[in-house]
Structure 1
Amino acid sequence: MKESMAKRFCQCIKKVRRTIKGNYKKQQKESRAIAICVKSVIQTRGKTLKKFSCGKSPKLTTQRPKY
């Protein structure tokens, strides 16, 4: 399950990064895309982001939210 969620998360970042409008630097666009995808992909499943990497094999480490 984590592999599919990692793949979905990385694809979301790539898609959202292209759609962000405005005069932002590349790093700012990516950080905004990460925030949007964390909210839509990970937090809807009741988890929070701990660590991730998008590359040949996407990896994602999550944890339960702290209340």
Structure 2
Amino acid sequence: TSCSYLESWDISWCMHITENGIRILAESCPKLTTFKAEGCTYMTNYAAIQLGKHCSKLLFLDLNRCS
């Protein structure tokens, strides 16, 4: 995919990304080491689980102020 080499992504305060969008991101970015989603109101437990499931290199996860 076009983002298969992406290592860091910051979607902080992005209010319109859905848990399905996070799942697609996680499936497409296996080399992701840093993911910041502070203040994302649609960030759910399901979305966080998908990041853990598909992004085995993830070292830093920022979910401050998420629902």
TM-score normalised by the chain length of structure 1: 0.29
Instruction: Indicate the structure (1 or 2) with the bigger Cα radius of gyration.
Output: 1
TM superposition score normalised by structure 2 = 0.29
